[in-house]
């Protein structure tokens, strides 16, 4: 079967004679369907498979060709079917009207067979080209989406692997990185309702913030085992060494930024979190003694999430606190350790924090 025979034409004309002439002319080359009214033509056009091209008479009773054309364009399933107008009117105005309406061509009667066949062939070739481009675009869009998903997965796995590297040197953390990551997302989603944070806490920002949160303690890899794994409280001298993990982590991420060919958005947030998540609202934190809004929003969110999780987790030097006790300590730190508005947001989603803690309790599978 010639390839043309796989293409379907729909002829819409109220004249039985015209339908016969056109059908006999086109049937040797194409699958041909015919309709003797605009309403019947619309019905056929909406069936499957849809016609590849419609030859539409302009002058018809009840519903003329222009009205049929408007309805074809209004329906999603027929909007892209190319239409050639057929008419006995041979004025320039009539032809311009048809083309302006959106028809791909305009053929006057009486039909000259070679001209009709040539124009039909041309429009079908153009439709094939458009369909091919559409398929290619759809494929490319799907491929881009697949690769973006793959890249995001690689990022997540890489980040989790780095976080676990720090975790293996600090065995008390358990599922800490999973819990804090979930706290950060929950708190950020609540905070974006607040006018102070709505502009910065966009959907993309929260996505990147959540992605980068597990890296907050990556600098602990650089802390000596004698300090990091000490089974008890640290001396003041040892604590000064431990505090350097914030600087070590941010320097490592900054080196990764410099090695990247192009800027990586989540690394910028990861560096903020790593460097400043131990700063306090009143300026008494470390490493830089930043205060208030000078502390990046991401680091302020991470600070609250990190402290809550430390309070509810058992350590060699303390038992795990009940959730409510940890909540009260967070509230007591409002305006000193924590941004006051973030404490309010924390209280609003306290139950969600508790559910996260239960879901990722130490000893539970990740």
Q: In what order do the strands lie in the sheet with 83-87?
A: 31-35, 8-12, 53-57, 83-87, 105-108
Burial of 101 (0-12, 13-18, 19+ CB in 10 A): middle
Same domain as 94, residue 182 = no
Same domain as 192, residue 264 = yes
Please report whether residue 96 resides in a domain.
yes
Same domain as 118, residue 173 = no
Q: Which residues pair with 9 in a beta bridge?
A: 32, 53
Those residues with Cβ within 8 angstroms of residue 88's Cβ, 6 or more apart along the chain or in another chain? 59, 108, 109
**How far separated are the first and last CA of the chain, in Å rounded?**
59
Please report whether residue 117 resides in a domain.
yes
Is residue 212 helix, strand or coil? helix
335: left (phi > 0), else alpha (psi -120 to 50), else beta?
Answer: left
Same domain as 303, residue 174 = yes
Q: Which residues pair with 85 in a beta bridge?
A: 56, 106
Same domain as 306, residue 202 = yes
| pLDDT at residue 102, as a whole number | 77
Same domain as 117, residue 59 = yes
Report the mean per-residue pLDDT for the chain: 87
The residue ranges of the chain whose pLDDT is under 70 are: 1-5, 90-92, 94-95, 98, 151-174, 363-366
Number of structural domains (the chain) is: 2
Same domain as 181, residue 298 = yes
Please report whether residue 116 resides in a domain.
yes
| pLDDT at residue 221, as a whole number | 85
CATH code assigned at 308: 1.10.3210.10
Please report whether residue 164 resides in a domain.
no
| pLDDT at residue 1, as a whole number | 44
Those residues with Cβ within 8 angstroms of residue 219's Cβ, 6 or more apart along the chain or in another chain? 166, 244, 245, 246, 247, 248, 249, 250, 251, 252, 274
Same domain as 18, residue 135 = yes
Please report whether residue 150 resides in a domain.
no
Please report whether residue 297 resides in a domain.
yes
Residues 54-90 have pLDDT tens digits of 999 988 988 988 899 999 999 999 998 999 998 877 6
- Domain that includes residue 34, residue range: 3-139
Q: Which residues pair with 32 in a beta bridge?
A: 9
Please say which residue of 122, 139, 156 terminates a domain.
139
Same domain as 118, residue 72 = yes
Please report whether residue 268 resides in a domain.
yes
Those residues with Cβ within 8 angstroms of residue 187's Cβ, 6 or more apart along the chain or in another chain? 301, 304, 305, 342, 345, 346, 349
Q: How many helices (H) and strands (E) does the chain have?
A: 15, 5
Same domain as 183, residue 104 = no
Please report whether residue 265 resides in a domain.
yes
Same domain as 342, residue 242 = yes
CATH code assigned at 12: 3.40.50.2300
């Amino acid at each position: 079967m010639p390839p043309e025979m796989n293409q379907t034409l729909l002829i819409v004309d109220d004249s039985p004679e015209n339908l016969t002439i056109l059908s006999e002319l086109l049937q040797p080359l194409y699958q041909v369907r015919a309709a003797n009214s605009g309403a019947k033509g619309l019905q056929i056009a909406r069936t499957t498979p849809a016609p590849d091209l419609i030859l539409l008479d302009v002058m018809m009773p009840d519903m003329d060709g222009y009205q049929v054309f408007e309805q074809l364009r209004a329906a999603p399933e027929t909007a892209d079917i190319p239409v050639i107008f057929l008419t006995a009117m041979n004025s320039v105005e009539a032809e311009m009207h048809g083309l302006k309406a959106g028809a791909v061509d305009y053929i006057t009667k009486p039909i000259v067979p070679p001209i009709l066949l040539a124009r039909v062939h041309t429009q079908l070739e153009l439709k094939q080209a458009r369909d091919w481009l559409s398929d290619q675009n759809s494929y490319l869009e799907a491929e881009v989406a697949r690769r973006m998903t793959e890249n995001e997965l690689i990022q997540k796995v890489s980040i989790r692997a780095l976080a676990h590297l720090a975790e293996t040197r600090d065995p008390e953390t358990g599922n800490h990185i999973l819990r804090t990551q979930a706290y950060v997302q929950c708190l950020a989603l609540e905070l974006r309702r607040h006018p102070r944070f709505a502009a910065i806490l966009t959907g993309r920002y929260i996505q990147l913030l959540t992605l980068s949160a597990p890296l907050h303690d990556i600098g602990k890899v650089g802390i000596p085992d004698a300090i990091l794994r000490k089974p008890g409280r640290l001396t003041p001298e040892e604590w000064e060494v431990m505090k350097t993990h914030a600087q070590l982590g941010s320097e490592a991420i900054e080196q990764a930024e410099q090695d990247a060919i192009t800027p990586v958005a989540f690394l910028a947030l990861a560096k903020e979190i790593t460097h400043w998540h131990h700063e306090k609202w009143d300026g008494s934190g470390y490493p830089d003694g930043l205060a208030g809004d000078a502390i990046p929003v991401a680091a302020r969110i991470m600070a609250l999430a990190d402290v809550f999780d430390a309070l509810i987790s058992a350590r060699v030097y303390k038992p795990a606190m009940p959730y409510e006790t940890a909540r009260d300590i967070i509230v007591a730190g409002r305006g000193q350790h924590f941004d006051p508005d973030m404490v309010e947001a924390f209280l609003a989603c306290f139950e969600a924090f508790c559910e996260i803690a239960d879901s990722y309790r130490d000893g539970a599978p990740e």
